[in-house]
Structure 1
Amino acid sequence: MMLEYTILWLDGNSSDPMSSFRAKLGNAQTFTNVNDCIEYIKSHSKELIYLIVSGSLAKEIIPIIYESSNIIEIFLFCGSVSAYAEWAMDYCDKMMIFDHGDDLLERLWNDLQNKLREHAKICLKLAEEHKQRALQFKKPCG
């Protein structure tokens, strides 16, 4: 029961190696093209995906991928939250809007931490159940 989360960043500047946000984000799959990102999401239906998308590309991709079951959360990263607030109301179940990279990253890492801790609890419970089952078959030597 492997649990893995994938972080995708769709932004015209995501491939810029000098981006301070890129450096802070670390190991994420980057896209500069909406169609390439959509194709990735559709072809990796078993991956649990966090999508970071620039404001300039959000209105193009979000209506298409919003209902995808593998999209856990969408982080819209833009220059002005108020510019997207009204439009975003249709997507508020899975989407949050940020105008500061550090705020976005704090939320992303905290959300991932919580999801992984929940999964760890489930794994520990299953491990204990298997241990108890194994003990049923333990026989003394001799």
Structure 2
Amino acid sequence: MLRLGRVNRDLCPVEIPENQEDVVCLIWLDSNMNNSKDYFVMQETLLELNPDVRLCTEVNQCIDLIKTLIHKRIVIIVCGDLSYEIVPDIHMFRSIVAIHIFCIDRKLHEPLLDKYEKIVEIFTDRQSLLESISETISFIEKQIYAFNLFGQKQKSVRDPPRGSASFLWHHLLIYVLRQLPQDEQSKKDMLDKCIDYYRDNKRELKKIQQFHQMYTSDKAIQWYTRDCFLYRLLNRALRTEDIDLLYSFRFFIIDLCNQLENNDCKRKSNKTISTLYRGQRISK
């Protein structure tokens, strides 16, 4: 199971390109990469998980590549042989979201896991590695989607992209929802709607109960990116432009917008420090 707490939460670039496709880049660094059938199958599987896959066999080659990937959120697989050499050099890159170490001897690389928080896990079998990568990419895509949709400061409503009717509809509606009171009644309205929708699903009802008991406003992004009722119902409401359902989610939408904006402010306040530390502009 992917330990999402170790995945870099600063997933969204400060400047997001108009073409949102392929924001996630998957890099595979392996010094033993060759044309064998096993490596070919692995490459094909990675391409199924993410359309943008880059292959590297040398540390310097990989670092140079990372520096060129502007506006990317990078997930990297590092072979055990090169992990101690490259992880210290790339860990502070803001574009690096998650590091997966793939090796034969887990114990040999455990000191890295304790020292570098972006290392998701150390894997010794391919299936577990691929499952973790799939979960990581899904997590990133959900948060980028939330940032694009709810992070209103990234674009001006006065200067929307072409074909912008849906853009304006979403942003104006979200603006209106954020003016409404956020109280216990708004929370109850949302949970009642969720309970009614999932009344025959014991698993989701349990998650709804957990939300009721444990949710705090600073956990909005964490809850939105979970595979649960919130993400499914909220995205359904947005996709179908269901105003009644979106109104029911006003309690959560307000928290999600606020947390995304707070994260954006933190990124901007850290921008100068990060640039000076690396000695160049790093993709945000």
- TM class by smaller structure: 0.7 to 0.9
Specify the code of the residue in structure 2 equivalent to 1:94. Answer: K
Please state if 1:5 is matched with 2:24. yes
Change (3 A) 1:46 1:129: closer
Letter in 2 for 1:23: E
- In structure 1, the residue corresponding to 2:101 is in which secondary structure? strand
Deviation string 1:75-124 (CA, Å, 9 cap, x unpaired) is 00000211111243211x10021111111111111111122123333444
**SS where residue 98 of structure 2 aligns?**
strand
Question: Which of 35, 39, 42 does residue 21 from structure 1 map onto?
Answer: 42
Kept after mapping to 2: 8 A contact 1:14/1:22: no
- Whose Rg is larger? 2
CA pair 44-121 structure 1, distance change in 2 beyond 3 A: closer
Q: Which moved more, 1:42-51 or 1:98-107?
A: 42-51
Whichever structure has more strand as a proportion of its residues is 1
Higher helix fraction (1 or 2): 2
Distance in 1, Cα, partners of 2:147 & 2:68: 28
What number of residue pairs does the alignment pair up?
132
Distance verdict in 2 for CA 1:108–1:87, change over 3 Å: closer
Match in the other structure for 2:218: none
1:106 aligns with 2:148: no
TM-score by length of 1: 0.80
Moved more, 13-22 or 107-116: 13-22
TM-score, reference length from structure 2? 0.42
Check 1:31–1:15 CA distance in 2 against 1; reply closer, same or farther (3 A cut). Answer: farther
Which residue of structure 1 aligns with residue 186 of structure 2? none
- Mapping 1:88-107, distance limit 5 Å: 88-91=113-116, 93-95=117-119, 96-107=121-132
Q: Distance in 2 between matches of 1:69 and 1:110?
A: 20
Instruction: Letter of the 2:27 partner, please give it.
Output: L
> Residues 49 and 71 of structure 1 are in contact (CA less than 8 Å); yes or no, is this contact kept in structure 2?
yes
What residue is the counterpart of 1:61 in the other structure?
86
| 5+ long unaligned stretches in structure 1 | 134-142
Unaligned segments of structure 2, at least 5 residues: 1-15, 153-166, 176-284
